[in-house]
Chains A and B, each alone.
Chain A
Amino acid sequence: MGISRADVEHVARLARLALTEDEIALFGDQLGRILEHAARVTSLDTEGVEPTSHPLPLRNVFRPDEPNFPAPCLSHEAALANAPAAEDGHFRVPRILEEEPAEGEA
């Protein structure tokens, strides 16, 4: 089972990975082989079997509504210390929204 080039490109877009031509070819082949093996799970009868998402019985966990429990929060400075770009106490990123058209335009 191979995975089509279109599928690889689609998944790479979803995963936010800019792949090279070589990687697209390689992953198409490798993922196909891995999934073919992994697809053996489809041969098992799982009728009526509940899925396990977590090995522990899940339960809600509460904590006191105190800002410093169980430990003080990171300072503003510490939270930004590893950012590749920061400005005025914020993470700096490329523009997300288009600029509003000026009045009279559009």
Chain B
Amino acid sequence: MSAPLWARTATELAGLLQAGEVSATEVTTSVLERVEAVEAGIGAYLTRTSEDALGTAAEVDARRAGGEDPGPLAGVPIAIKDIICTQGVRTTAGSALLANYVPPYSATVATRIAGAGLPVIGKTNLDEFAMGSSTENSAFGPTRNPWDTAKVPGGSSGGSAAAVAAGEAVWSIGTDTGGSIRQPASLCGVVGLKPTYGLVSRSGLIAFASSLDQAGPFTRCVRDAALLLGVIAGHDPRDATSLPTPVPDFAEGIDAGVRGMRIGIPTELMAAGLQDGVRARVEECIGLLEKLGAEVGEVSLPTFAYGIDAYYLIAPAEASANLARFDGVRYGVRVDGDDVTTMNSRTRAAGFGAEVKRRIMLGTYSLSAGYYDAYYGKAQKVRTLIINDFARAYGSFDLLVSPTSPTTAFGFGERTQDPLTMYLSDVCTVPTSLAGACAISIPCGLAAEDGLPVGLQVMGQALDEVRVLRAAYALEQELGFKAEPPGWVAG
């Protein structure tokens, strides 16, 4: 028996659709049935758009039947993180404040997905305003990890990661500010790619930290990530920070291998605090890269140890400015007050959850008179030092490899009482974010002690996605690891 349609990769489905062996309606229906079967136990979606998805699928089928080419990936169903605006479809950012917000326009990412003919299954759950590493901070309840529903899926794009891991979408879109694509990909056993800052338009993304936010794909295999990146990447005149560079074919030559590639292992990211099972799997991958012909060596990037500190001064500072727009005037809920200031303060107090308030406070504090130079200004200089460290490493190495997360998925409530412990979940992903560069997380096996997925991170320089994808693909093929959580119906 072959695997059900919902369990296939986008690459396989695209082939079947183009050959006319299945219809987009059949594929979409298969995914919708899977959602129906497992969603109650996972909670990946905040809003389901089944009818829209079937409408897109029918349109794709009609175009193919009429001899038109609807595009190479048309008909492969997708899910979109609910911080990406979708015209006419509620977009909440996981916040009670935006519980009834229906955007009057679509993000460029969503427009490009529609243009590629991808049926949208729904909008996925997230930590409120993308702040968190566990998807426990959503105002609409948590998402559960398909590998073990007592564990978190990671965050902030936990819904997008869990949807793909559970077979509730073939692929999905998340956003990554300090690791919010890579860390949940790691915890859920799927592929997650954070593209170079500026490669994918931020127009229509509800902003968290403007100098860091970046949308990117979650997929079941590396080739799918290359294909989906091709759909969403490219210059956008609506985003002044969008890079006006040409978009390569990310999948072309993806099987070129790693022979001769120089791969560095940052010692600071293999340091204490790493779970044993994570370390073992990552070391195994390093061995495989050597076996495949890469030149592997250790490299010290001393400022990486300060990455989390710089990040948790810079990101909240930007967040405190971005979230000032939620004032109860133009959109969202409002709590009345006798004057504007009271109305603003009460609205924000009622609409924001604890983590968002904490970060607004943290950001406002570090930007306030008397602390600006010591905290925010200093963190920006440390950001420069981290970028310099990367540049030095890339003088000797083509790529860097590390664990994506120091641990496998953790239990609900385990880190919520201590924000600092939660923040340390992002220690391996934050440096790339601060540098605006690209990185991918791929599932590389299960940790011996708990049987949960381990993610391996491959980091590259800005706009070096092609090389990052090649290395990840080579490793994925060599590992031959099929990340199928319990309950997955294999072919």
Contacts and interface: CB of A to CB of B under 8 A. Distances in A.
Contact of B423 (A34, A52, A95, A96): A34
B238 A51 contact: no
Contacts of A49: 381, 384-385
A79 to B, nearest CB: 7
Contacts of A54: 211, 241, 436
A83 B334 CA distance: 9
A56 to B, nearest CB: 6
Interface stretch (B126-134, B173-181, B345-353, B477-485): B345-353
Interface in B234-293: 236-238, 240-241, 243
Interface in B93-133: 100-102, 104-105
A70 B375 contact: no
Given A17-B352, A31-B365, A50 B313 contact: no
B333 A42 contact: no
B64 interface: no
A16 B378 contact: no
Contacts of A16: 324, 327, 341, 344-345, 348
A12 B266 CA distance: 40
Contacts of A6: none
B384 A52 contact: yes
A46 B385 contact: yes
B309 A31 contact: no
Interface stretch (B5-13, B355-363, B392-400, B444-452): B355-363
User: Which residue among A16, A30, A35, A51 has the maximum number of chain B CB atoms within 10 Å of its CB?
Assistant: A16
A82 B423 contact: no
Contact of B197 (A41, A56, A82): A56
Contacts of B212: 55
Interface in B377-418: 377-385, 387
A55 B194 CA distance: 14
A94 B343 contact: yes
How many of chain A's residues touch chain B, expressed as a range?
Answer: 35 or more
B230 interface: no
B353 to A, nearest CB: 11
A38 B385 contact: no
A104 to B, nearest CB: 26
A40 B378 CA distance: 10
Contacts of B419: 30, 34
Contact of B434 (A40, A55, A61, A79): A55
A52 B310 CA distance: 11
Interface string A15-36: 1111110010001001101110
Given A23-B357, A31-B365, A94-B338, A42 B381 contact: no
Contacts of A95: 339
B337 interface: yes
Contact of B105 (A38, A50, A74, A91): A74
A78 interface: yes
Given A14-B368, A63-B237, A79 B104 contact: yes
Given A41-B382, A49-B381, A94-B339, A84 B364 contact: no
A96 B343 CA distance: 11
Interface in B219-239: 236-238
B237 A51 contact: no
Contacts of B366: 35
B321 to A, nearest CB: 10
A89 to B, nearest CB: 14
B198 interface: yes
Contacts of B462: 55
Nearest to B365: A11
Nearest to B320: A15
Contact of A52 (B236, B309, B342, B387): B387
A82 B332 contact: yes
27 contacts: A8-B361, A10-B368, A14-B364, A15-B360, A15-B364, A17-B360, A31-B365, A35-B365, A37-B308, A38-B312, A41-B382, A46-B381, A46-B385, A49-B384, A51-B380, A51-B383, A55-B212, A55-B437, A56-B243, A71-B105, A82-B104, A84-B328, A91-B329, A93-B340, A94-B336, A94-B338, A95-B339
Given A18-B348, A42-B378, A94-B336, 15 more contacts: A11-B365, A17-B352, A17-B360, A19-B349, A23-B354, A35-B375, A37-B308, A38-B309, A49-B381, A51-B383, A52-B434, A55-B387, A55-B436, A84-B329, A91-B330
